[in-house]
Amino acid sequence: MVKTASTRTLPLKRSLTLAVAATLGLGAPAYGQDSSADLAKKLSNPIASLISVPFQLNYDHGYGPLDGDKATLNIQPVIPFSLNADWNLISRTILPVTYQNDIAGSSGSQFGLGDVVQSFFLSPAKPTDGGLVWGAGPVFLIPTATDDLLGGEKWGAGPTIVALKQDGPWTYGVLANHIWSFAGNDDRNDISSTYMQPFLSYTTPTAWTFALNTESTYDWKAHDWSVPINLTVSKLVKVNEQPISLTAGLRYWAAAPDDGPEGLGVRLGLTFLFPK
């Protein structure tokens, strides 16, 4: 069973809550600064005691010479564990479910699972004296794709880190990792990829969050950048006492490979929160 850490002050609650949000890859979905007294009590230490299940839908177009398009639903469960009074371990899984059409010329349509990215963050139960919240650990790439055009058919691993601070309603930080392939189909390209997600968000007293981030990836083998810039708005609501974060926004591809997406895309999100 996940243990609940001792009660902390409200500012600490909000900082640790946003640390979990950062690991979700959503920037900073809002719980709201004072959304309700009951929820604030339950969020005494979200890293140690909050389970969340985000569903993030991204739609992009402009792939290849036929202007192919892709819709990906990322299922991203985050399960934190309290190891002891000082340390937490956070498991973050990204399972993509994708429908795509003509993304590689006249390649037809594919639907199915993509490759899983599994991260583990070891994080102090308390922020530093300067208010920094951080976590670090390994990240793994698992070739679970159900079609060769939905994944790389490679096993990979590397380091990952997240760090952030909160200053009043503002939250800013970065999530990053690097993955090298070490096994898999010899006929597929090797992987050496750096992912960087700087993020900035502003949360209102009524639980609205306005967030800006990039999810930049640099492919060291192809020497190509992929840089979507995401602008989103989130709102925390309750449905039969179940807290849910709703997200909507636009994404603009500032850089992409020659056969990659172009222009504007759409992001929608739905996150179920399970405070202890």
Domain 10-275: CATH architecture, name and number where available: Beta Barrel (2.40)
Please tell me the distance from the alpha carbon of residue 215 to that of residue 220, in angstroms, as a whole number.
16
Please tell me the distance from the alpha carbon of residue 124 to that of residue 202, in angstroms, as a whole number.
24
Q: Where are the alpha helices (DSSP H) in 119-185?
A: none
Tokens 């007294």 sit at which residue? 37
Domain ranges of the chain: 10-275
Q: Is the pLDDT of residue 40 over 90?
A: no
92-141 confidence digits (pLDDT tens): 999 999 999 999 888 899 999 999 999 999 999 888 888 888 999 999 99
Q: Is the pLDDT of residue 15 over 70?
A: no
pLDDT of residue 46: 33
The gap from C-alpha 2 to its chain's centroid, in whole angstroms, comes to 22
pLDDT of residue 151: 94
**What average pLDDT does range 173-180 have in this prediction?**
95
Q: What is the band of 56 on the pLDDT scale with cuts at 50, 70, 90? A: very high
Q: What is the pTM of this model?
A: 0.82
177-223 confidence digits (pLDDT tens): 999 999 999 999 999 999 999 999 888 888 788 889 999 999 999 99
Candidate from 11-20, 37-46, 260-269 with smallest mean pLDDT: 37-46
Q: How long a stretch of residues is the chain?
A: 276
Please tell me the distance from the alpha carbon of residue 118 to that of residue 78, in angstroms, as a whole number.
10
Please tell me the distance from the alpha carbon of residue 50 to that of residue 77, in angstroms, as a whole number.
11
Q: Could you tell me the two tokens for 60?
A: 């992009």
Q: Is the pLDDT of residue 41 over 50?
A: no
The mean pLDDT of the chain is: 83
Is residue 69 within 8 A of residue 104, CB to CB? The reply is no
